[in-house]
Amino acid sequence: MTKLSVNINKIATLRNARGGNNPDVVKVALDAEKFGSQGITVHPRPDERHITYDDVMKLKDVVTTEFNIEGYPDKRFMEIIRITKPAQATLVPDPPHVLTSNTGWDTIAHQEELKDIIAELHEYGTRTSIFINPEPKYFEPAKLTGTDRVELYTEPYATNYHKNKQSAVKPYVEVARLAKELGLGLNAGHDLDLDNLKFLKESIPFLDEVSIGHALICDALYYGLENTIQMYRRQLEED
């Protein structure tokens, strides 16, 4: 079964636009779990433009599904993981000024650095995942870092899905098989939505988890959060 982790960054963005605590990030996380989310994902950036340090500290005490914290593994991020000890830490290579994650790790150039970071995260009892492009050359070096999983960066898939979905998914199927052969768990995320999610799941039936935020929150404006989460869950069900 492929789990759905709901990224609640956009809820925090909406709150921060006005100040105060509406919408309440903690309440939304709890409601998302109640509505069927199997995990909660946050990406606390240094400028706190959406999820804040305080949000993470509050969420660590209430999230009962899998808490997944994404981020660039600088000193601040590592301290957050040490304190919160989430179920999973997803390492992304983007520097603080980047608007959103836009590429995966070069696991060849950063192999030794990632190995040290992952060893530290494992000391905290946290499962690790590395954000990675669908290029075979990065997968064996990823395995050598000691990571538990990799997360496929799916923006190229989403961009090309409506042009030719078979062509769009082909490199992902190839690297997914490679990841499985290497014994790496497999996550996916970025620009997945109600149009393209089911086909990705059908093409890679052994996906462990997808993390979805922007599209899901946008859909919730029309369908409601509970209904939207159930709609996404249905895309991941086995036929």
Query: Mind giving me the DSSP string for 86-139?
Result: -SEEEE----TT-SS------TTTTHHHHHHHHHHHHHTT-EEEEEE-S-GGGH
What does pTM read for this prediction?
A: 0.95
Question: Which of these, 99, 77, 211, 213, lies nearest to 151 by C-alpha position?
Answer: 211
pLDDT in tens, the chain (239 residues): 999 999 999 999 999 999 999 999 999 999 999 999 999 999 999 889 999 999 999 999 999 999 999 999 999 999 999 999 999 999 999 766 555 566 899 999 999 999 999 999 999 999 999 999 999 999 999 999 999 999 999 999 999 999 999 999 999 999 999 999 999 999 999 999 999 999 999 999 999 999 999 999 999 999 999 999 999 999 999 76
- CA distance linking residue 156 with residue 197, whole number of Å: 13
Q: Please, what's the largest Cα pairwise distance for the chain?
A: 49
Q: What pLDDT score does 238 carry?
A: 78
- Measured from the Cβ of residue 34, the count of other Cβ atoms closer than 10 Å reads 12
Residue keyed to tokens 């192999």: 111
Catalytic center residues: 43, 70, 190
Opening angle at CA 195, ends 186 and 238, nearest 5: 55
- CA distance linking residue 211 with residue 88, whole number of Å: 12
Q: What pLDDT score does 100 carry?
A: 56
Q: What pLDDT score does 97 carry?
A: 59
Beta strands per DSSP E along the chain = 3-7, 39-42, 66-71, 88-91, 127-132, 149-153, 185-189, 209-212
- CA distance linking residue 192 with residue 207, whole number of Å: 14
Q: What pLDDT score does 118 carry?
A: 98
